[in-house]
Amino acid sequence: MTQRGTIARFLLRAFAGSLLWICVLPGWARENILNTRPETYTSDEDENPAKPWAESAVELPEYPNDADFYSFYVSAGTTSRFYLDAARLRLDSDGVARYTLLVISPSGVRNVSYEGMRCQTRERRIYALGRPAQKTWSPARGARWSPVRETPVLRHHAALYQDFLCPDGILASRVDEVTRRIRKEGEPLEAAP
């Protein structure tokens, strides 16, 4: 007989023996050993199950005014300028910071967006894109939560996350503290060249 056949036969006998052992145990022992009655076992998690996260309904703010935008530092390598609307920043009960962002390209093109940042999961989402000429919003289609990354192209989201909205990965506690800081560290848009 081969070694493989011997091992297989041994495993089969061990399995059959353990199955027979379980079958002859009294009912109370089977329940305790096999934990076949999970309803008798409770833990703190069972008694206080965490509710799944649900995002609050999002209402678009009124279109921002240039006077409410303040710059924030992104990196030495960026050529665009980045601004946060200090008047319409929200820190909502669902754990999401909602804000209006303005990005001005080196050629002067303005991109306005209304976004959310979830500190707990380090994610961001675009709710609407601005139409500067009409001063209206266009809801973003198919926008999902996506990770906040330290990439050169999207570094402004990481700067907002780390420096203003989610210090230490936790949602800032007060809007006025965030706006005071952004006004102190940044320059108003109207003063920009």
Higher-scoring residue by pLDDT: 102, 26: 102
* pLDDT number for residue 25: 46
* Residue 100 burial (10 A CB sphere; 0-12, 13-18, 19+): buried
- What residues form DSSP beta bridges with 71? 83
pLDDT at position 14 is 53
Residue 109 has pLDDT above 90, yes or no: yes
Question: With bands split at pLDDT 50, 70 and 90, how would you rate the model's confidence at 33?
Answer: very low
Q: How far apart are CA 88 and CA 164, in angstroms?
A: 14
CA proximity to 111, closest of 89, 144, 82: 82
Amino acid at 139: P
Lowest mean pLDDT of 17-21, 76-80, 116-120, 179-183, name the range.
Answer: 17-21
Determine if residue 186 is left, alpha or beta; phi over 0 gives left, psi from -120 to 50 gives alpha, anything else beta.
beta
Provide the pLDDT for residue 76: 87
* pLDDT at residue 182 greater than cutoff 70: yes
- Cβ neighbours for 19, distance < 8 A, ≥ 6 positions apart: none
pLDDT tier at 49 (50, 70, 90 boundaries)?
A: low
Residue range 85-109: mean pLDDT, rounded: 95
Q: What pLDDT was estimated at residue 6?
A: 63
Q: Is the pLDDT of residue 144 over 70?
A: yes
| Band of pLDDT at residue 39, cut at 50, 70 and 90 | very low
What pLDDT score was predicted for residue 142? 85
185: part of which helix (H) or strand (E)?
helix 175-185
pTM above 0.85, yes or no: no
List 114's β-bridge partners, or say none: 100, 128
- Per-residue pLDDT band for 45 (boundaries 50, 70, 90) equals very low
Predicted pLDDT at 8:
55
Mean pLDDT of 78-103: 95
Intervals of CATH 2.40.128 along the chain: 66-191
pLDDT value at position 119? 94
Tokens of 129: 């894109």
CA distance 27 to 76: 71
Contact 103, 81 (CB under 8 A): yes
The pLDDT value given to residue 151: 84
DSSP 119-174: TTTTEEEEEEEEETTTTEEEEPSS---EE----STTHHHHHHIIIII-GGGS--S-
Class of domain 66-191: mainly beta
For residue 189, is pLDDT > 70? yes
